[in-house]
Chains A and B, each alone.
Chain A
Amino acid sequence: MSHPIRLEVAERELGTGLTLMAVRNPGVPTFACAMSLDIRAADEPDDAPGLANLVGECLDEGTRHYDALELAAAAERIGAVMEGNHRGGVVMCPAVAQKDAIALLTEMTLAPQFPGREVRRVQAEILTEIKADEDDPRAVAARRFRKEIYGEHPLGRPTQGTLKGVAKLRPKDLRAFHDEWFRPAGGLVAAAGPDDPEKMLDRMEKAFRGFKGKAQKHISPPGVDLPATGRDAHLPMAREQVHVFLGHLGIRRTHPDFYVLSVMDHVLGTGPGFTSRCSRKLRDEQGLCYAVSAGIAASAGEEPGMFTAYIGTSPEHRQRAIDGFLEEIRRIRHEPVSAQELQDVKDYLTGSFVFGLERNSNLAAYAIRARRFGLGYDYLQRYPDIIRAITVEQVRAAAERHLHPEKLVVVSAGAS
């Protein structure tokens, strides 16, 4: 896209430390509002894996003014779709219903009651899902891969928790976690819709006026580093395919190499269609798989993400696929990408980001991301120039700095 995109965004920080944001999207009469509080992976107690997830899942299972069915019916009556998560939640609705929708989001996130019967039911559902995931070789491999990368860091835990951990959680644990961590300080709430942003902020301020509480001190997670050497594990399961994950620790979203690595990812393994080297080689030329990818930037967050290469293939192709990834990782570290490849990726990235701005839920998520990582609301205007300025040598140097073929963790599950 040659013309810069200017979004009409307004922001208001309340005395409680909660920041409200509103983005105007004149396109369609729909509305979205998302809440993301300052709750981090390490805030979940070590001995209660899955607690934060269970809290998010149970937010809509009964609140101060509604039981679970009443809350769902209240949302459905206005055409809203609402979902809780461990940092808050999101609601989407027709724009005419936005006032009621914000009120319901507030009720769900700030006044959940965690009734015992409902918590036990959701807990049992999650336990069945964990069991179902243990049947799924892709999920099994992904879970073990994460553990191998993060070790004892809280990100090494499965988000849903473990069978043992989830089974022992009680409603009082959920209430205590909510009381302790659902606080306004450092929290972000963003709305997007067709109205004037200041008006949206007024509505939100009114709704969140009663949200009070002192800031909590976060616990610093243990450090996490690259392994000294690589390792390879295979978990056999009776299936048609084998799912292979290969990678190591990645970067934070605020790392100065983030944009260069985004470009590198597209050359290496996340480009659309068969434009990336890994998909061209492993799928298009060798026909080894249906699904293949490799990248480091997409998982970058407040904590370091992961460099992850993934392929689902037949067991006889496992080693060939791993060798193919390795060859491409080594190549991008040593050999500059061609000027044409770089230009192709720049054209894609500077043209495609506009498609993320169509839906109100995406716009709300964008505002939250821009604020959380200090990108600035003019980030979208600057983004094309940031990408255009990246050089061939920067890509090679970043690949050399951040990809470590000798320290790769390989985990696979499925057919042997």
Chain B
Amino acid sequence: MDAMTTTMLPDVEVVELDNGFKALLVARGPLPVVASVLWYRVGSRDERTGETGVSHFLEHMMFKGTEAFAKGQIDLQTSKMGGSNNAFTDNDGTAYYFTLAADRWEKALEIEASRMRDCLLDPQEFASEKNVVLEELAMGEDDPWRPLYQATESLLYQVHPYHHPVIGWREDLERLSAQQMRDYYRRNYGPNRAFLVVVGAIDRSRTAQRIRELFGQLPRATEREAPIQEPTQLGERRATLRTPHSVTRLCIGFRTCRMGSRDDYALDVLSHDLGNSKNSRLYRRLVREHELVTEVSVMNETRQDPGSLLILCELRDGVSPAEVERAIREEIHRQQEEGIAKKDRERILAQIRASFLFQDESVLDLAMKLGRFEAGTPAGYRTLADVLPTYESLSQKELRDVAQRYLDFDRAAVVWAVPGDKAAKAGGKPSNAGKPKKAKAAPPAEAAAAAAGKRKAKKKGKRA
């Protein structure tokens, strides 16, 4: 698998400016296309009490005009150049991205430099876009999975800002003022809180020069405040949501570790073994052998601060919830006792290696992969050089230890969504106001859906 190993850490030129801005440049062909991702280390965790949702709302406003690009111009110019743009917000960061033809992509740099400090945040536009964000929130409230996901996260995090939804609480959003957003923008958006990734058919020295010209003089923002530590959870937390849906769903969450830690790699392997293929424990037991659920998925969502591992499933008609929960507990217990057999580990590692390789097919996916590691791990993008060796070095004992340490029901959140009269109002996580898919080994969406044995990929959305 030499070809795979070499593509994990491409040849990256790093540009660092005095004001704290950093750019990662990767030249690659053969198609004449370029992707740029400007990643801010500013996400919903940076929001203060009463201003939840401002990060994601600001992400919308960043397309509504700057000093240099009037309202509508960012989309129009991108489109005229045959490109596309979009953005997403998650708990830890916000990323803005362009894909453009190689002979005109530098316009993206001008746009990003302009909106880093000079976004207009016009009050009229703010009022109009607030309606759009509230519609997006309503869309999430109608989704059967999002309130369930959010309720689980809110139980797992009681003190840390991961407690609140990325899209924000409706009550905060309705009251949020343009001035509050302006203050938030001034406080957090600046070159020292962001980095840029450019991948594609570029001239690296010319690109580096242009980055210095455009970003070199921008003033710094306030440094990020120290994270709040979530106290140790003392017992299992449970909730039941009464929903207008006729299907019963379950989400079990465990608080885990930081992205890029050794335990994170072990959790990736353990989640594959638990639920992400037809041969996984939960799929075999719950879907195939006992025919209790129609689908099950397991997500290892590590973040900058300890993240979560989530198990989601949808029950078949007439199945007892207690039986499903008991089966999941037993399978987790079995994994903690048995670990993962060598042949299963090899099969899972082949899947993980391939999922990284698939991410190299497009310039945008490769740029996102670099961005995720730069943003989320202490060693930044360089972590990519160690990713596959780390997965491969995990011992049987280590996997068992990690499973025992984190998948502990005394520190779990268990949330049921059951058919009922009341509509759940638990808020929601918007489709693009979420994490960049999975923390690390993220296959393409269709591949992920297929790997999970699902018939339908979960709904996805986009900013624009």
Contact = CB atoms under 8 A, between A and B. Distances in A.
A96 interface: yes
Nearest to B135: A290
A241 B139 contact: yes
Contact of A137 (B72, B142, B360): B142
Interface string A284-306: 11111111000000000000000
Interface stretch (B174-182, B233-241, B253-261, B347-355): B347-355
Contact of A79 (B287, B354, B361): B354
Given A351-B83, A354-B31, A360-B361, A81 B354 contact: yes
B4 interface: yes
Interface stretch (B37-45, B73-81, B151-159, B184-192): B73-81
B128 A344 contact: no
Contacts of B83: 351-352
A265 to B, nearest CB: 13
Interface residues of B, number: 80
Nearest to A73: B279
Given A76-B277, A289-B135, A352 B72 contact: no
A96 B244 contact: no
Contact of A30 (B81, B99, B291, B358): B358
Contacts of B97: none
B363 interface: yes
Given A124-B291, A126-B455, A354-B101, A94 B357 contact: yes
Interface stretch (B301-309, B330-338, B375-383, B443-451): B443-451
B30 A283 contact: no
Contacts of A314: 135, 138
A279 B103 CA distance: 28
A81 B456 contact: no
B316 A125 contact: yes
A350 B3 contact: no
A274 B316 contact: no
A135 B144 contact: yes
Nearest to B291: A121
Nearest to A27: B30
A128 B249 CA distance: 12
Contacts of B351: 76, 79
Most chain B Cβ neighbours within 10 Å, of A124, A279, A355: A355
Contacts of A359: 361-362, 444
Interface string B1-43: 1011001000000000000000000000111110000000000
B27 to A, nearest CB: 13
Contacts of A275: 72, 75-76, 79
A279 to B, nearest CB: 8
A275 B77 CA distance: 10
B33 A125 contact: no
Contact of B33 (A237, A288, A345, A355): A355
Contacts of B75: 272-275
B350 A77 contact: yes
Contacts, number: 225
Nearest to B348: A76
B278 interface: yes
A347 B360 contact: no
A135 B278 CA distance: 27
B33 A354 contact: yes
Contacts of A240: 138-139, 141-142, 423
A30 B361 contact: yes
B79 A72 contact: no
Contact of A351 (B74, B81, B129, B142): B81
A72 B354 contact: no
A132 B247 contact: yes
Contacts of A131: 246-247, 317
A57 B246 CA distance: 23
A131 B133 CA distance: 29
B450 A290 contact: no
Contacts of B88: none
A3 B32 contact: yes
Nearest to B355: A79
A73 B278 CA distance: 8
Most chain A Cβ neighbours within 10 Å, of B63, B80, B133, B141: B80
A80 interface: yes
Contacts of A355: 33, 84, 99, 362
Contacts of B443: 81
B461 interface: yes
A397 interface: no
B411 interface: no
Contacts of B464: 272-274, 279
Contacts of A96: 1, 3
A288 B247 CA distance: 30
Contacts of A132: 144, 245-247, 314
Contacts of A121: 287-288, 291
Nearest to B244: A238
B385 interface: no
A137 B130 CA distance: 23
Nearest to B247: A132
Interface in A210-265: 237-241
Contacts of B135: 241, 287-290, 312-314
Contact of A288 (B131, B142, B347): B131
Contacts of B347: 73, 76-77
Interface in B407-450: 423, 443-444, 446-447, 450
A28 B246 contact: no
B82 A348 contact: yes
B132 interface: yes
Contacts of B279: 69, 72-73, 76
B461 to A, nearest CB: 7
A45 interface: no
Contact of B357 (A79, A271, A285, A289): A79
A68 B284 CA distance: 11
A127 B75 CA distance: 42
B103 to A, nearest CB: 7
Contact of B129 (A26, A237, A287): A287
Nearest to A60: B278
Contacts of B127: 287
A1 interface: yes
Contact of A94 (B1, B76, B101): B1
Given A241-B142, A358-B33, 9 more contacts: A29-B357, A68-B278, A77-B346, A94-B3, A94-B357, A131-B317, A287-B132, A289-B132, A361-B446
7 contacts: A1-B82, A3-B32, A27-B361, A96-B1, A125-B455, A238-B423, A291-B461
Closest 3 CB pairs of A and B: A351-B82, A79-B354, A273-B75
